[in-house]
Amino acid sequence: MIRRPDQPPSTSDSLWTADFRALFTASAISQLGTNIGYVALPLLAVSALDASAGQVGLLAALGTAAFLLIGLPAGAWVDRMRQRRVLIAADLVRAALFASIPVAWGLDRLTLGQLYVVALLNGCATVFFDVGSQTVLPQLVGRDGLVRANAAMVSLQAAGSIGGRGAGGGLVQLLTAPLAVVCSAAGYLASAISLTRVRPSQPVPTRGERTTGLRTEIAQGLRHVLGNQELRALAFSAALLNFGSVIVNTLLPVLFVRELELPEGVLGLYWAAGGLGILLGARTARAIAGRFGYGRTLGLVGLWLAPGALLVPLIDRGGWLYVAGAGWLMVTFKMGVDNVLGVSLRQQLTPNALLGRMNATFRFLLTGAIAVGSAVAGALGEFAGIDTALWVGGALMSVAFLPVLLSPVRIRRELPQPDVPSGPRPAPATKPA
pLDDT of residue 276: 84
Quote the CA–CA distance of 340 and 294 in Å, as a whole number. 10
DSSP code string of 73-105: HHHHHHHHS-HHHHHHHHHHHHHHHHHHHHHHH
Residue 108 Ramachandran class (φ > 0 left, ψ -120 to 50 alpha, else beta): left
Domains of the chain: 18-200+217-411 (1.20.1250.20)
Quote the CA–CA distance of 102 and 177 in Å, as a whole number. 9
Between CA 390 and CA 383, with CA 56 as vertex, the angle to 5 degrees is 55
Q: Nearest-CA neighbor of 401 among 327, 323, 301?
A: 301
Quote the CA–CA distance of 234 and 367 in Å, as a whole number. 14
How far lies 304's CA from each of 35, 165, 350, in Å? 28, 27, 29
The residues near 69 (Cβ < 8 Å, ≥ 6 apart) are 124
Contact 347, 146 (CB under 8 A): yes
pLDDT of residue 99: 93
Contact 49, 110 (CB under 8 A): yes
| pTM (predicted TM-score) | 0.67
Quote the CA–CA distance of 195 and 99 in Å, as a whole number. 20
Contact 411, 280 (CB under 8 A): no
Quote the CA–CA distance of 228 and 230 in Å, as a whole number. 6
Question: Collapsing DSSP states into helix, strand and coil, what is residue 79?
Answer: helix
Contact 425, 145 (CB under 8 A): no
Contact 344, 147 (CB under 8 A): yes
Question: Collapsing DSSP states into helix, strand and coil, what is residue 28?
Answer: helix
Amino acid at 368: G
Contact 234, 295 (CB under 8 A): no
Quote the CA–CA distance of 379 and 52 in Å, as a whole number. 11
What residue ranges of the chain have pLDDT lower than 70? 1-15, 143, 157-158, 160-176, 200-212, 264, 417-433
Q: Could you give the residue ranges of the DSSP H alpha helices within 142-228?
A: 146-160, 166-175, 177-195, 214-226
CA 141 to chain centre: 20
Quote the CA–CA distance of 144 and 422 in Å, as a whole number. 6
What is the radius of gyration, based on Cα positions, of the chain?
A: 21
Contact 344, 359 (CB under 8 A): no
Quote the CA–CA distance of 195 and 210 in Å, as a whole number. 28
